[in-house]
Structure 1
Amino acid sequence: MLMGEYQNSIDSKGRIIVPAKFREQLEYKCVLTKGLDNCLYIYPMTEWAKFHEKLDKLPVSDPKARAFVRYFYASAVEGELDKQGRLTIPQSLRNYANIEKELVTIGVLNKIEIWSKQAYENAENGEMLDASEFAEQMESYGI
């Protein structure tokens, strides 16, 4: 399980240092792709394989299903961490997520999300629920 929030930055070569707690689970190889909410997703190879199986079962006759698969696969790239735990993020993905310098790396269940610091703060402020609303939402999800 991937969890936690880390503040870091991207260097001039487009590399980030993956937090040490995440490196072992990535086993130095991963898949990077566009995420939802203008962030990036980093999947360990085993989790990408599970995600792939689910996407592979979507009906090709459904235009929305095709668009969903295309969304994740068109931007997907295999990544490999170097000996210092750095991962290069392609320019196209940096542009998509508006990553320029400061970023936030968070573990979310089976994947890592990479956010520009500003986008993450904006999302956090926009999604804030008071305790009662939060409890109601959890209950509606059966949690």
Structure 2
Amino acid sequence: MFSGTHRVRVDEKGRLAVPAGIRRQLPEGSYISIGQDRVLTIYPPGLWESLASGLQDPLLGPEQRGLARALFSKAVPCEFDSQGRVSLSPEQRRLAAIEPRSTAAVVGSGARVEIWAEDRWDTYSGEVEARFDELADQVIKQGV
């Protein structure tokens, strides 16, 4: 399970150093692609395979086709260089509003890892924290 928030610099080439604690948990075969809320998501192999298998039917409806196109067109293997960095493609950085030479928030989110532009994460997490009790009550009512 992935947890915690880590603030890391994105270098001039768009590489991001994934914190060692998270990196050790990510097996070979992980992918980085688009996630909900316009963030980048690192999907471990089991989660990636589950998503991919659900989007393989050649006769998908328009919603599934759209999701498959967005997910697969932005996907790159999560491969670490010798310094523990991953390369974010220009398309991925554009989508998530992550600029070279900026700070990103690498956020553990249970079964996956999210990569946010720091300012967007600060805004989002502040709003969610302010509504924490309300959100918790809603989730409990739904039986989760």
TM-score bucket of the superposed structures, by smaller chain: 0.7 to 0.9
After the TM superposition, list the runs of 4 or more consecutive aligned residues in structure 1 that deviate by more than 3 angstroms: none
Which residue of structure 1 aligns with residue 45 of structure 2?
A: 45
Which residue of structure 1 aligns with residue 116 of structure 2?
A: 115
CA distance 1:61–1:84, shift in 2 (3 Å): closer
Q: Deviations over 1:39-83 (max 9, x none)?
A: 1011123331122123336x8341111111111111111131012
CA distance 1:142–1:97, shift in 2 (3 Å): same
Aligned with 1:135: secondary structure?
Answer: helix
CA distance 1:135–1:45, shift in 2 (3 Å): closer
Which residue of structure 1 aligns with residue 9 of structure 2?
A: 9
Counterpart mapping for 1:48-59 below 5 A: 48-56=48-56
**Where does the alignment leave 5 or more consecutive residues of structure 1 unmatched?**
none
Contact 1:44–1:111 at 8 Å: present in 2 too? yes
Counterpart mapping for 1:30-109 below 5 A: 30-56=30-56, 60-100=59-99, 101-109=102-110
In the TM superposition, residue 118 of structure 1 has moved relative to its aligned partner by 0.5
In the TM superposition, residue 135 of structure 1 has moved relative to its aligned partner by 3.2
CA distance 1:139–1:70, shift in 2 (3 Å): same
Question: What's the TM-score, normalizing by structure 2?
Answer: 0.87
Q: Which has the higher strand share?
A: 1
Quick one: distance in 2 between partners of 1:135 and 1:44?
27
**CA RMSD in angstroms, aligned pairs only:** 1.8
Q: Name the count of aligned residue pairs.
A: 141
Residue identity over aligned pairs, in percent, reads: 30
The 10-residue stretch of structure 1 (42-51 or 67-76) with the greater mean CA deviation from structure 2: 42-51
